[in-house]
Amino acid sequence: MNPAGKPGKTSTLMAVEVALARLLEMAEATPIVERERLPLAQVEGRVLADDLISTLDLPPWPNSAMDGYALRTADWTGEPLVVSQKIFAGSAPDPLKPGTCARIFTGAPVPAGADCVEMQENAEVQADGRVRFTETLTPGNNIRTQGQETTVGELILPAGTRLGPIEQGLAASLGCAELDVIRKVRVAVLSTGDELVEPGQTLGPGQIYNSNRVLLCSWLQRLGCEVIDAGILADNLETTRARLGELKDVDLILSTGGVSVGEADFLGIALREEGELTLWKLAIKPGKPLTFGHFRGVPVIGLPGNPASTLVTFALLARPYLLRRQGVKEVAPLKFQVPAGFAWRKAGNRREYLRGRLENGRAIIYKNQSSGVLRSAAWADGLVEVLEDRTLIEGDSVSFIPLSEVLG
């Protein structure tokens, strides 16, 4: 029996989980270790090279969470208190005089001797300027304690963290002006096929415009990669060998098309003759003819040529590989369960990823799931996962992967 439970049907196909595990294992074997130090404003989308350790307490002193009045609760007997000082954020207050309160504003340091901040809404200012409190006072109320967020020596962000606006803000709060990040992965992108023509040129008989390379180059830039556009590769073995040989100073060659088992599978032939072919033919739809190997030591991922196949295999396999090369630990996209808003009556022997979107809490799918239809992904906001050998009726639970999880 095979993993899908049907004799002979998927014996030559590699399960998606197995393929991903192998890709990540090979990524970990050749990590990108070179680093560069960049200003904090330029690290968005990059991968942190070293653990970020706090060098100070945050906040560095107790401060007020409210506009109000700071006092010592034991001093409040029900009689109005004199306001002995006014404390603004950024100032250094004097110790609180016994039997008084201090006017204080959000973020301002709490004066020594005070153990409570009462919000101004619960305070009544008397005609003589003294303040009376209308609610029960509790020690510690509305005070942010020193080190509430971080303490000296605490791990804040581990190495391998992808840096976004929140992480940049957190680093700034610790006083970091620069961070060490992993250098960008250098990825050469090429397309194969005599039928391909660049946008803007005139189409000849049997030709189509090349959409995959534009999609991948843009996507790779979102991932923080350095992209080398290697153009369109003609269906010719010698040309394929020569072009691959020119790309020796990159971390990955990423191609689309030319990875089937047909006579024009020149990429596969080149890998077999002058490198190695590690995996190919996956139990995934769309995207079965994905290839991974090496050409003269340079890793090569060959994605299928149909646009939807390119999108699915890059999102679920090539993207995690690239992130793991940079040391990112968590590479799996968010996936959650939703009710199916459609029926799926024919069980397949491959894991299917349908272009769909959520409407009224249910996943619905695009009417045409052909691997050649990129419009389905533009309409969709996620991928709906249908497991091998499974049929569905409306309301059954399915896994949904938002496209926002994989596009950046």
Rg (CA), the chain: 30
117, 115, 118, 110: which is closest to 139 by C-alpha? 115
User: Using CB atoms within 10 A of its CB, is residue 48 exposed (0-12), middle (13-18) or buried (19+)?
Assistant: buried
Lookup: tokens for 392: 């569905």
CA distances from 342 to 361, 389, 393 (A): 13, 17, 7
Residues 41 and 92 sit within 8 Å (Cβ to Cβ)? no
Helix (H, G, I), strand (E, B) or coil at 197: strand
Query: Mean pLDDT over residues 327-342, rounded?
Result: 97
Q: Compute the distance between CA of residue 192 and CA of residue 160 in angstroms, rounded to an integer.
A: 34
What global pTM score does this model have? 0.88
Q: CATH says 63-144 is which class?
A: mainly beta
Is 313's pLDDT higher than 50?
Answer: yes
Beta strands in 200-270 (DSSP E): 208-209, 226-233, 252-256
Span 175-182, mean pLDDT? 98
276-299: pLDDT as tens digits = 888 888 999 999 989 999 999 999
The terminus-to-terminus CA distance of the chain in angstroms comes to 39
CATH number belonging to domain 336-407? 2.40.340.10
Least confident segment among 34-43, 62-71, 198-207, 324-333: 198-207
Say if residue 193's pLDDT is above 90. Answer: no
Contact of 87 with 93, CB cutoff 8 Å? yes
**pLDDT at position 270:** 85
SS3 call for 77: coil
Do residues 257 and 210 make contact, with C-beta atoms less than 8 angstroms apart? no
Q: Which CATH superfamily is domain 16-34+183-326 in?
A: MoaB/Mog-like domain (3.40.980.10)
> For the chain, where do the domains classified as CATH 2.40.340.10 start and end?
336-407
Q: Where are the alpha helices (DSSP H) in 122-265?
A: 165-173, 212-222, 237-246
- What's the whole-number mean pLDDT along residues 99-115? 98
CB 272 within 8 Å of CB 342 = no
Residue 232: the pLDDT is 87
State the Cα–Cα distance between residues 279 and 277, nearest whole angstrom: 6
Mean pLDDT of 352-367: 98
3-class SS of residue 390: coil
| Coil, strand or helix at 98 | coil
Asked whether the beta carbons of 271 and 295 are under 8 A apart, the reply is yes
Delimiting residues of CATH 2.170.190.11 domain(s) in the chain = 63-144
Residues of CATH 3.40.980.10 domain(s) within the chain?
A: 16-34+183-326
Domain with CATH 3.90.105.10 in the chain: 37-58+149-182
In the DSSP assignment, the letter for residue 122 is G
- Averaged over 250-262, what is the pLDDT? 81
To which residue do tokens 């967020």 refer? 149
Residue 162 near residue 226 (C-beta atoms within 8 A):
no
Q: What is the pLDDT of residues 212-240, one digit of tens each?
A: 999 999 999 999 999 999 988 888 889 88
- C-alpha closest to that of 302 among 265, 334, 263: 265
Residue 2: is its pLDDT beyond 50? Answer: no
- pLDDT at position 262 is 56
178: pLDDT confidence band, cut at 50, 70 and 90?
very high
Say if residue 4's pLDDT is above 60.
no
Q: Which superfamily does 37-58+149-182 belong to?
A: Molybdopterin biosynthesis moea protein, domain 2 (3.90.105.10)
Question: Is-contact 389 347, C-beta < 8 A?
Answer: yes
